[in-house]
A and B are shown apart, each in its own frame.
Chain A
Amino acid sequence: MSQNTPTHINYDQVETEFEAIKQRYRNKLGPADVRYIKRLRTASRLSEVLGRGLLWISKEPITFALGVLFTWLHRNLESIEIGHNVLHGQYDGFEEIPQFHSRNFKWKAPVDEEGWRREHNGLHHVHTNVFEKDPDLNHGILRMNDRTPWNGYHRWQVPLYLFVAYPIVLYGFNQQNLGFRQDYRARKFPKGNEGYALVSHPGETVQSLKRRHWLSVCRVLFKEYVLFPLLALVTGYSFFKVLLGNMLADGLNNYWISLTIQATHFTAPLQPEDAVKNRGRWYVSQLDSSVNFRGGRLMSILWGHLNYQIEHHLYPDLPSRHYPDIALEVQEVCARHGLPYRCNPSWFHAIRNYMGVMWKYSFPPEDGNTSLSGGRHA
């Protein structure tokens, strides 16, 4: 546990109070939530029509920039505020919107939905920050805490992620979720997958997983880099301008998502493996692993309410629009029990803090011992 967490916590009481908050908000769910998700989709569509239309016909930089902006807005809403939240099952209880049920929904992102749900909902949200169980703790080739063995690849992680991985981050999700990245590490890292969590897909061959990967990626590549540029071409406009515009919107979307999700997670302290066995203890482990950052209600939509990462981790299947209200109640419970509730004053601060951690762990531990070191501390 970190220094801020008191040693004697009444876990049963904590569980009762957090469950009470959840029940209260469950009772509040109703037609307003259905209207909310439908309006988000409408906004996303209008933005798409406007953005793609402007890119199609733009002849000078200002309309081009506006086209990129609105296309980005459409991609952003579909990726996080709609996509990520729907895939959590937040809207599964509403019968009248089957298109927003987690098993029906198709993400406008190059990510296989079932692989995502298995890794994100089933592993990351259940065993959050548990060493070698939470795949998001160190994903890809990152080293984000001192328990993971250091190797030469880690020296380059900051520039690699900042300049290469972030602009294409969504295209890499399948690598982790469908298990391709772990094969790479097993082959190339001196200690293989030591320090990294593994995902498994029982009943699927590598071939079927690769097929799922290509199907999910090609639908985006086709729409962004083939269909709309071709439409522009056959109507007498520029193929490459639309291609470039879509590429910029894509890159911007990936970058925005990376900076949002990475800036709201602590990669230390690590949580014990049995945290999930006691519900109260599990709630505290969620508090311990997440950090919010401040922002207004409208901006929160653009962040998919992930700036309320604490509330999201406590209640992943409550519709995200309630997180700002839930936050007030959660803060009050934490204050009374002396539980950690961490919030960065702004997105910029959150990014800076996270970058600092990434920089620190890109170098070998001071004692020169590159093998598994013990101890979990902040």
Chain B
Amino acid sequence: MLDRLKMAGSVWLLDHVAPDWVNYVVSNTMTDLNRWFNDFIWSYDVKARVEAVVDEAPGVKTYVLRPNQHWKPCQSGQHVRLHLNVDGERVERCYSVSAVRKGQSAHAQRICITVKRQQGGKVSGWLHDHLRIGTVLTLEQAQGQFVRQSHEPSSPALFIAAGSGVTPIRAMVDAHMSQASGQRPDVQVLLQFRQAQDIIFRSDWAQWAQQGLPVTVNLSQLDAAAASVGLNTRHGRLDRQALQQVPDLTTRNIYLCGPDAFMRQMLTDLAALGVDPARIHTERFSFDTAGAGMAELAGGLEGAELVFAHVNACVSLTHADQGKTLLQLAHDHGIPLESGCTKGACGTCKLVLHEGEVSGNVLGRSVYLCTSFPASRRVVLGS
């Protein structure tokens, strides 16, 4: 009872006072007593309280979260890392922010994450079973580079997503649709799901379609329910034919997210249709590291060059650098590069391959430095 009152008070405070001021007072009164009394606000961590749980589709839930004063505004397409305690074990998982909801006052921001229960997934299953209204999560600030390209804000775009990959795409389309209709750039959305009942965020897509957004949903298993969905549906997987229907395909910035096999297929198809790989931006949720190994470099490693163009740094490799990933090579040679999960999933260390070849975790021209290796004597990476 007291806990609920305290939490209600904390949320009221956060909704009505700017986070900067809350932080000023809280950080200067961070006594052990205060931390014991209210550890939602008097905390050094970013925390969020589950305010609502929404069933999006079978096995898919959206959690509406109210973060504390440490939360900084995020860009659409970014993700958050949750720090969880699952069955006594400390685990971390990243989830895309699928929506940002504004509240009644300027500071009353809520964020949404959408979690699909993976078969045999330890964490997604735990979240579905244990996250209730009132649960408090510890998380980190939003991160990730899967965002609308800021240097070309009005260029046409194409959003392609399948399955749970639709979460960051929804956030980006949401931001797009919140612009005034006269100022919106040309945007097309292609989605793929298995059946009509599996469509995630169906009501959102239907609403936006009504507002003029060109959305096509590809259903690999068409069933009777598809007709009543209120969306433009197409039977069959998203394939080259469907891509060819998109006008001005080669001039668009393409944002792609979905299961690995789907993305690889898409990249092949897009390349075959003449799309410049530099225009394709991807977000990957997981990576099978079992296959990633270092290919034996023709000519040996000694004297091979590794260039990080965006920080103007060049590394000369030696025999001692055998077997190291690109990220390890950078760090061992004193180049501070950003990294996150170091497991090939979050994309924080991702760079674009400008010259040369790499092996391992590569998606198109995007290289996940933490799980890939140099595969030519000169490799140039940049932003």
Q: Which residues of A contact B (CB under 8 A)?
A: 98-99, 101, 104, 106, 215, 219
Given contacts A104-B30, A104-B44, 9 further A-B contacts (CB under 8 A): A98-B44, A99-B44, A101-B44, A106-B27, A106-B28, A106-B30, A215-B24, A219-B24, A219-B28
Write out the residue numbers on chain B whose beta carbons fall within 8 Å of the beta carbon of A101.
44
| Nearest CB on B from A113, distance (A) | 10
Q: Name which residue of chain A comes closest to B45, CB basis.
A: A98
Alpha-carbon distance between A330 and B249 when the two chains are bound, in angstroms: 69
Q: Name which residue of chain A comes closest to B24, CB basis.
A: A215
What are 7 of the A-B contact pairs (CB < 8 Å)? Answer: A98-B44, A101-B44, A104-B27, A106-B27, A106-B30, A219-B24, A219-B28
| Nearest CB on B from A48, distance (A) | 11
Write out the residue numbers on chain B whose beta carbons fall within 8 Å of the beta carbon of A219.
24, 28
Alpha-carbon distance between A329 and B27 when the two chains are bound, in angstroms: 39
Write out the residue numbers on chain A whose beta carbons fall within 8 Å of the beta carbon of B30.
99, 104, 106
Alpha-carbon distance between A101 and B28 when the two chains are bound, in angstroms: 14
Chain B 349-373 near chain A by CB (<8 Å), digits 1 or 0: 0000000000000000000000000
| Nearest CB on B from A69, distance (A) | 23
Write out the residue numbers on chain B whose beta carbons fall within 8 Å of the beta carbon of A215.
24
Q: State which residues 5-35 of B face A: CB under 8 Å.
A: 24, 27-28, 30
A-B contact count (CB 8 A): 13
Q: Name which residue of chain B comes closest to A219, CB basis.
A: B28
Chain B 30-49 near chain A by CB (<8 Å), digits 1 or 0: 10000000000000100000
Alpha-carbon distance between A248 and B28 when the two chains are bound, in angstroms: 23
> What is the predominant secondary structure among interface residues of chain A facing chain B?
helix
Alpha-carbon distance between A98 and B28 when the two chains are bound, in angstroms: 14
Number of interface residues of B (CB under 8 A): 5
| Nearest CB on B from A336, distance (A) | 32
| Nearest CB on A from B302, distance (A) | 27
Write out the residue numbers on chain B whose beta carbons fall within 8 Å of the beta carbon of A106.
27-28, 30
In the A-B complex, the 10 residue pairs with the closest CB atoms: A98-B44, A106-B28, A219-B28, A106-B27, A104-B44, A99-B30, A215-B24, A106-B30, A99-B44, A104-B27
Alpha-carbon distance between A196 and B184 when the two chains are bound, in angstroms: 54
Write out the residue numbers on chain B whose beta carbons fall within 8 Å of the beta carbon of A98.
44
Alpha-carbon distance between A101 and B45 when the two chains are bound, in angstroms: 13
Alpha-carbon distance between A99 and B24 when the two chains are bound, in angstroms: 15
| Nearest CB on B from A150, distance (A) | 42
Alpha-carbon distance between A215 and B24 when the two chains are bound, in angstroms: 8
Q: Name which residue of chain B comes closest to A103, CB basis.
A: B44
Write out the residue numbers on chain B whose beta carbons fall within 8 Å of the beta carbon of A99.
30, 44
Alpha-carbon distance between A99 and B28 when the two chains are bound, in angstroms: 11
Alpha-carbon distance between A99 and B30 when the two chains are bound, in angstroms: 8
| Nearest CB on B from A41, distance (A) | 9
Alpha-carbon distance between A99 and B27 when the two chains are bound, in angstroms: 10
| Nearest CB on A from B238, distance (A) | 43
Alpha-carbon distance between A215 and B23 when the two chains are bound, in angstroms: 12
| Nearest CB on A from B43, distance (A) | 9
| Nearest CB on B from A255, distance (A) | 25
Alpha-carbon distance between A101 and B30 when the two chains are bound, in angstroms: 13
| Nearest CB on B from A377, distance (A) | 37
Q: Name which residue of chain B comes closest to A101, CB basis.
A: B44
Most buried by A among B24, B28, B30, B44: B28
Q: Name which residue of chain B comes closest to A220, CB basis.
A: B28
| Nearest CB on A from B29, distance (A) | 9
Alpha-carbon distance between A106 and B27 when the two chains are bound, in angstroms: 7
Chain B 172-198 near chain A by CB (<8 Å), digits 1 or 0: 000000000000000000000000000
Alpha-carbon distance between A99 and B44 when the two chains are bound, in angstroms: 8
| Nearest CB on B from A203, distance (A) | 16
Write out the residue numbers on chain A whose beta carbons fall within 8 Å of the beta carbon of B44.
98-99, 101, 104
Alpha-carbon distance between A295 and B91 when the two chains are bound, in angstroms: 49
| Nearest CB on A from B69, distance (A) | 14
| Nearest CB on B from A135, distance (A) | 25
Alpha-carbon distance between A215 and B20 when the two chains are bound, in angstroms: 11
Alpha-carbon distance between A106 and B24 when the two chains are bound, in angstroms: 10
Alpha-carbon distance between A104 and B43 when the two chains are bound, in angstroms: 10
Q: Name which residue of chain A comes closest to B20, CB basis.
A: A215
| Nearest CB on B from A202, distance (A) | 17
| Nearest CB on B from A167, distance (A) | 24
| Nearest CB on B from A37, distance (A) | 13
Q: Name which residue of chain B comes closest to A223, CB basis.
A: B28
Write out the residue numbers on chain A whose beta carbons fall within 8 Å of the beta carbon of B28.
106, 219
Q: Name which residue of chain B comes closest to A42, CB basis.
A: B32
Q: State which residues 37-74 of B face A: CB under 8 Å.
A: 44
Write out the residue numbers on chain A whose beta carbons fall within 8 Å of the beta carbon of B27.
104, 106
Q: Name which residue of chain B comes closest to A104, CB basis.
A: B44
Q: Name which residue of chain A comes closest to B43, CB basis.
A: A98
Q: Name which residue of chain B comes closest to A108, CB basis.
A: B28
Alpha-carbon distance between A366 and B38 when the two chains are bound, in angstroms: 65
| Nearest CB on B from A212, distance (A) | 11
Alpha-carbon distance between A102 and B208 when the two chains are bound, in angstroms: 48
| Nearest CB on A from B4, distance (A) | 27
Alpha-carbon distance between A219 and B44 when the two chains are bound, in angstroms: 19
Write out the residue numbers on chain A whose beta carbons fall within 8 Å of the beta carbon of B24.
215, 219
Q: State which residues 186-241 of B face A: CB under 8 Å.
A: none
| Nearest CB on B from A310, distance (A) | 29
Alpha-carbon distance between A67 and B259 when the two chains are bound, in angstroms: 68
Alpha-carbon distance between A219 and B27 when the two chains are bound, in angstroms: 11
Chain B 258-282 near chain A by CB (<8 Å), digits 1 or 0: 0000000000000000000000000
Alpha-carbon distance between A371 and B248 when the two chains are bound, in angstroms: 70
| Nearest CB on A from B322, distance (A) | 28
Alpha-carbon distance between A99 and B42 when the two chains are bound, in angstroms: 11
| Nearest CB on B from A211, distance (A) | 10
| Nearest CB on A from B45, distance (A) | 8
Alpha-carbon distance between A252 and B25 when the two chains are bound, in angstroms: 27
Alpha-carbon distance between A101 and B44 when the two chains are bound, in angstroms: 10
Alpha-carbon distance between A215 and B28 when the two chains are bound, in angstroms: 11
Alpha-carbon distance between A104 and B30 when the two chains are bound, in angstroms: 10
| Nearest CB on B from A223, distance (A) | 9
